[in-house]
Amino acid sequence: MMPTYVAMLRGINVGSGKIVKMERLRASFEALGFGGVRTYVQSGNAIFESEQKSPTGLCKKIEEKIQRDFGFTVPVLVKTSKEMAQIVSDNPLVKEKGIDHSKLHVTFLSDAPPKTAVKALEPLATGRERFRILNREIYLYCPDGYGNTKLSNNAIEKKLSVVATTRNWRTVNTLLEMCRSSR
């Protein structure tokens, strides 16, 4: 049985002019030889199976295919199903008192953030917002909505010099369930 992965595309179908129909995205993934390809919502989430074991190699392969098939570059972050399970179980904000789970998000980073990341991001968080950095993820709590936070992908990328893409907590959990159901 081949390992299952989640690919998260950064910045498609969100007003950037980088429009990708999920049917075409699935076809692109299948053309790369990936199995069990499924997508979730229009914001660029794909679950797939591959014999290739390097998430970094998979990112590069997918990014090159998107460039060829769609004519633009899109950063792609790939996680194994095991990594997704760890990310869900490690969320420190889920256990905090008074947290509305519908206001939780996870920002996935392309690389480990610098040791100064917390200090760099603190000025962006409002008094009610919370964030925790663990490994290559930033767990966010945005009680006033993600659309109103200054802890956006662009701001995080600028402050930390990494690629960032964010998914709400429901999407993160759904992607994990989709990984598990592909076994």
Q: What is residue 59's predicted lDDT score, i.e. its pLDDT?
A: 95
Please check the confidence at residue 1 and state whether its pLDDT lies above 70: yes
> Distance (Å, rounded) from C-alpha 9 to C-alpha 171?
14
Q: What is residue 127's predicted lDDT score, i.e. its pLDDT?
A: 85
Q: Which of 27, 54, 83 is the last residue of a domain?
A: 83
Closest CA to 154 of 126, 115, 121, 105: 121
- Same domain for 165 and 93: yes
What percent of the chain lies above the pLDDT cut of 90? 84
Amino acid at site 155: A
In which element (H, E) is residue 121 found?
helix 117-121
- Same domain for 156 and 93: yes
Domain extent for 78: 4-83
Q: Which of 30, 55, 83 is the last residue of a domain?
A: 83
Contact 8, 44 (CB under 8 A): yes
pLDDT per residue as tens digits for the range 142-159? 999 999 999 999 999 999
- Same domain for 167 and 93: yes
- pTM equals 0.95
- Tokens standing for residue 34: 């990936």
pLDDT band at 53 (very low <50, low <70, confident <90, very high): confident
pLDDT per residue as tens digits for the range 16-52? 678 888 999 999 999 999 999 999 988 789 999 999 8
Our count of domains for the chain comes to 2
Q: What is residue 11's predicted lDDT score, i.e. its pLDDT?
A: 82
Q: Which of 62, 83, 104 is the last residue of a domain?
A: 83
